[in-house]
Amino acid sequence: MHATPERIADRYELVSTISTGGMGRVWRGYDTVLDRPVAVKVIRPDAVADPERYDEYADRFKREARVTARIEHPGVPAVYDAAVDKDLGSLYLVMQLVRGVSLADTIAEAAPLTVPAAASVAAQVCAVLSQAHAVPVVHRDLKPGNIMVADDGTVKVLDFGIAAVLRTDVTRLTHTGSILGTYAYMPPEQVHGLPATPGSDLYSLGCVLYELLTRRTVFSGDYNHFQLQVAHVQEQPVPPSEHVADLPEDLERLVLELLDKDPEHRPASAQDVYDRLVPHLPQPDPSAPDRPLAPGALPDPTRPYRRPMAPRPKAPVPAPTKPLPSTPGDTVAQAFPVPGLAPGELVEADEHAQELLAEGRFAQAVGVLDDVIDPAAAALGGESAQVVELRLLRANALAISGDARRALPEFTALADILERRAGHDDERALICRQQAAYCMAQLGETTRALRAAEDVFDRFRRVSGERSEDALDLRREIAMWRLRSGETEHAARELHELYADLRAEYGPGAPEAIQVAEILNRLRRGRDAR
């Protein structure tokens, strides 16, 4: 059986580790009250204060977190909660979980970036810093590991939750004399232990932009930590044009100004940096094709500028796969190793997800299944019986949780698979088609939903008659969709027939029959009023 997750404040479950750093650990978590995934940063007490002064530092931590929560910008993950768990002796922040790729991974896989892509990342970071510095909050540890590119191309700056507030009455949450920051991106004034300012964040941004354009850190030789700090204080960086050809002169000049040793000689503000990046941003082209992000592909940070205020990218349509023959008794069982999964993990995920669904924890159930379905499909085939069972469970969880956008293509693909295996009128295939129609309606595609539902009802009628539970449910939905589409008379006829069948099947006092009777009464009153 799955292990019981550790829980913070009797509400937030710590599901799996996202990252570990000097200040603590970031977890992918789950909010048991609101049924949603979250990120939980648990900060070690020994990383922030003398244990004897823990309560004092905890109070300051909460005060800083409250101020940080005032950074209302889409480029900053929302802070949901910040408190102290005295049982665990930890400070923790609960934040919006960002789905995307770390800028550190983007650099490792794709750098040097094109000038428009690098400028797009830096400009979005500037937009965040401009808002934060107005609070005022300084990040103090800006680096690729604290920047993410979300799936839609938007850039998110992480870890403002441990930033210092620019106020003299708030003590830094670090050991006395210790330095907060990462050596490869650390401004000279922080090396000297001086207070960080907005200009300090701009220096770190210059280090990040240098790396985006060249795939090299500013000082990339064989330095130890001490030598790297000395380099930031004393050495001049090699101009980025010596590492990459055809770099615009004004962009190189901006990078070198950001890296000036004297904060007074750097650009005056994040807004000024943004303005100088604007000529290198891609031009808006809202009519350009907006291709969905392919599985495993890096998000495109130019998208927010190419398609400003555009809808979210369309979900990729699953490609049809070659059907695999099922074997007798083939269920969600893992009798042999699956690369990327622990022995028995498929069975455990199936059982765990079903338990979560029974508890109404739909989002968490989807997360559990997401973790195992892709590696299982890669090893066993996307249409193997074991994977199909897991996909069916996930599709149902998505539908129940209201995520019709993800559920629709999955129900459609599963219906295709089941029909190829068991025929056009297979019961589970019909239910998948029925659920797909419901998803269409939830997404506002009423006409499409109506046509799909009519086809499914014809098949239900052949297989199980007009009075099966599924057929009756579908008839009610079809009539309601007709009402929304303005087909009032047609809908009224179907509702009269449905009401008679519901009374015959369940009795006149059944909730289903009463609901339809009330709809008919409203329609009658509407006709009489005319």
The residue whose two tokens read 């799955």 is: 2
- Give the integer Cα–Cα distance in Å for 156 and 154: 7
Average model confidence (pLDDT) across the chain = 83
In this prediction, residue 313 carries a pLDDT of: 67
Query: How confident is residue 279, by pLDDT bands cut at 50, 70 and 90?
Result: very high
Tokens of 8: 């913070």
H/E element, 363 = helix 362-380
Is residue 165 over pLDDT 60? no
In this prediction, residue 91 carries a pLDDT of: 79
Query: How confident is residue 474, by pLDDT bands cut at 50, 70 and 90?
Result: confident
- The candidate with the shortest Cα–Cα distance to 180, out of 207, 160, 202, is 160
DSSP string, 196-238: P-HHHHHHHHHHHHHHHHHSS-SS-SS--HHHHHHHHHHPPPP
Query: How confident is residue 524, by pLDDT bands cut at 50, 70 and 90?
Result: confident
Is residue 512 over pLDDT 60? yes
Per cent of the chain over pLDDT 70 is 84
Is residue 282 over pLDDT 70? yes
Is residue 458 over pLDDT 70? yes
- The candidate with the shortest Cα–Cα distance to 506, out of 434, 21, 498, 207, is 498
Catalytic positions, please?
A: 141
In this prediction, residue 175 carries a pLDDT of: 41
Domains along the chain? 6-95 (3.30.200.20), 100-306 (1.10.510.10), 345-529 (1.25.40.10)
- Give the integer Cα–Cα distance in Å for 281 and 118: 9
Tell me the per-residue pLDDT of 220-260, one tens digit each, with 9 for 90 and over.
888 888 889 999 999 999 999 999 999 999 999 999 999 99
Tell me the per-residue pLDDT of 139-153, one tens digit each, with 9 for 90 and over.
988 999 999 999 999
Is residue 414 over pLDDT 90? yes
- The candidate with the shortest Cα–Cα distance to 139, out of 104, 181, 173, is 181
In this prediction, residue 224 carries a pLDDT of: 85
Is residue 315 over pLDDT 70? no
C-alpha distances out from residue 481 to 5, 78, 485, Å: 43, 37, 6
Determine the 3-state secondary structure of 361 from DSSP: coil
Angle at 368 between CA 364 and CA 374, to 5 degrees: 135
In this prediction, residue 166 carries a pLDDT of: 41
Do 50 and 104 touch, CB atoms closer than 8 A? no
Regarding pTM above 0.85, the answer is no
Query: How confident is residue 374, by pLDDT bands cut at 50, 70 and 90?
Result: confident
Tell me the per-residue pLDDT of 73-129, one tens digit each, with 9 for 90 and over.
999 998 888 877 666 667 788 989 998 999 999 999 998 999 999 999 999 999 999
State phi, psi for 31 to the nearest 5 degrees.
Answer: -85, 110
C-alpha distances out from residue 364 to 62, 78, 121, 305, 371, Å: 28, 19, 31, 33, 11
Helix 198-214 to helix 115-133 angle (10° resolution) is 170
Do 450 and 478 touch, CB atoms closer than 8 A? yes
Q: Which of 17-21, 240-244, 342-346 has the highest mean pLDDT?
A: 240-244
Query: How confident is residue 181, by pLDDT bands cut at 50, 70 and 90?
Result: low
Per cent of the chain over pLDDT 90 is 35
Mean pLDDT of 30-42: 89
- Give the integer Cα–Cα distance in Å for 43 and 52: 17
In this prediction, residue 86 carries a pLDDT of: 67
**Of the candidate ranges 162-176, 199-213, 454-468, the one whose mean pLDDT is the lowest:** 162-176
In this prediction, residue 128 carries a pLDDT of: 96
- Give the integer Cα–Cα distance in Å for 79 and 39: 10
In this prediction, residue 126 carries a pLDDT of: 97
β-sheet bridge partners, residue 148: 102, 156
In this prediction, residue 169 carries a pLDDT of: 37
Mean pLDDT of 431-451: 88
In this prediction, residue 172 carries a pLDDT of: 39
- Give the integer Cα–Cα distance in Å for 467 and 349: 36
In this prediction, residue 173 carries a pLDDT of: 40
337: CB partners within 8 A, 6+ apart: 343
In this prediction, residue 529 carries a pLDDT of: 67
* Sheet of strand 24-31: strand arrangement: 6-8, 12-21, 24-31, 36-43, 90-95, 79-85
In this prediction, residue 9 carries a pLDDT of: 81
Return the higher-pLDDT residue of 152 and 21.
152
**Of the candidate ranges 153-157, 206-210, 264-268, 468-472, the one whose mean pLDDT is the lowest:** 468-472
**Of the candidate ranges 203-207, 245-249, 317-321, 397-401, the one whose mean pLDDT is the lowest:** 317-321
In this prediction, residue 336 carries a pLDDT of: 53
CA 488 to chain centre: 41
State phi, psi for 379 to the nearest 5 degrees.
Answer: -85, -40
β-sheet bridge partners, residue 29: 14, 38
Is residue 270 over pLDDT 50? yes
Mean pLDDT of 436-454: 88
Is residue 174 over pLDDT 50? no
For residue 104, how many C-alpha atoms fall within 13 Å in the half-sphere facing its CB?
Answer: 11
